[in-house]
Amino acid sequence: MRFTINTNRFLKAINLVNRSISTTTPLPSLAGILLKVEPNSLSLTASDFNISIRTVITADEVNIEEEGTVNINARYLHDIIQSLNGTTTTVTLIDGTLLEITSDQSVFKINGMPAADYPNISFDCSGKPFNLKTKIVEEIISSVAFACSTDETRPALTGVNLKAEGRELDCVGTDSRRLSLKKLELDEEENFNIVVPVKYLTKIKDSIADQDECEVKIDNQRITFSFANTVISARLIEDSFPSITHLFPNTFKQQAKLNSRELVSAITRSSIMKYEGKDTIKMSFKDNKLELTAISQEVGTSYDVLTPISYEGSDLVIGCSGKHLSDAVRVMGNKETLLYFNGEAHPIIIKNPEDDSLIQLISPTRVYF
């Protein structure tokens, strides 16, 4: 095995496949990148079993002198290639699994692992391919991912539910206390209902950032993204995602429009006071004023008054997590925020008055102060 390649091009490929490597993998060979040199290409494969990335560099970008294959520790390979000064780098398998890396005046000799011990990683996916704009994945991450759970005891909630019916794509993230629903539009009609782990979707978003679109395939177990001689395959979460259709009522008892900046600023102040370690805030709508109150038994109390832009409905006292509400308002990214209520015991619905593609929901918290 021997090839010469532009150092930056090699580093870019290493950075790409490195995203799939877990620092806590129990299998030593999965701490490595599988390098495979064939007559007309160099491929790099890395995986943590749940997400796998393979990228192929074709002969126009790599000068191949000898075929071969070896598995090299990803962290060392990355640190070495990143440290090199030379424009090009030559990689040679000199003896068994000993790899020589030379560039400019630098020579590294590092011990690899036998390629034969690398597990067989399949990138096959039986689904019908379709094109997906990169922007769609970015919008899912920016508007839905934050609401997902990090608690592995309910696996489905650590993922984003992607549900396509025709050209409509509904994307939902929830940790059961808050929920974010983003409605997006596909180029073509599709029909699927899957749960993609949010941590892998984030890695996919970072990996495809340079592209305009990808080819996507979905089957019962996996979703694959293909672009620029690269395939990313991520395992889906098989647990079923909770149904959310009943969560959004058509009628509301109270409705408020607020200045987003003022609201976030007041919540930030209130959240300094933690009630039993939680950032519960109490909102009281009365006489066209919104009073925000928070209490920490040890520290003290905070009190703020805002004037809603508009308020419809009867007086209301309702509690919720300050962080959940300020996250929701920030993700909307709009100057004004709409809040809808059905009394103190039902979820708060948060909308952007200028864009109804994003709907958020927060469970209320019972307040005793």
Q: Which residues bind its own copies (CB under 8 A)?
A: 73, 76, 79-80, 83-85, 98-99, 105-111, 265-266, 268-269, 272, 298-306
Cα–Cα distances (Å) from 193 to 142, 171, 172, 248, 356, in that order, read: 20, 10, 11, 19, 22
Report the residue number, 164 or 267, with the smaller CB distance to its own copies. 267
Shortest reach from residue 115's CB to its own copies, in Å: 17
Select 56 or 294, whichever has its Cβ closest to its own copies: 294
Smallest distance, its own copies to C-beta of residue 27, A? 17
Residue type, 218: I
Min separation Cβ 273 and its own copies, Å: 8
Q: How far is the CB of 320 from its own copies (least distance, A)?
A: 19
Kindly tell me which of 22 and 265 has the beta carbon lying closer to its own copies. Answer: 265
Helices 260-270, 322-332: inter-axial angle, 10-degree rounding: 160
Q: 4 or 102: whose CB is closer to its own copies?
A: 102
Sign of CA dihedral 121, 125, 131, 137: negative
| Shortest spacing between CB 262 and its own copies, in angstroms | 8
Cβ atoms of residues 346 and 366 within 8 Å: no
Strand, coil or helix: 75: helix
The DSSP secondary structure of 296-307, one letter per residue, reads ETTTEEEEEEE-
Three-state DSSP class for 134? helix
178-197: strand order across its sheet: 159-174, 178-197, 355-362, 348-352, 336-341, 254-259, 310-312
Nearest distance from C-beta of residue 328 to its own copies, angstroms: 19
Identity of the residue, 32 or 173, whose beta carbon is nearer to its own copies in the bound complex = 32
Residue with smaller CB distance to its own copies, 176 or 307: 307
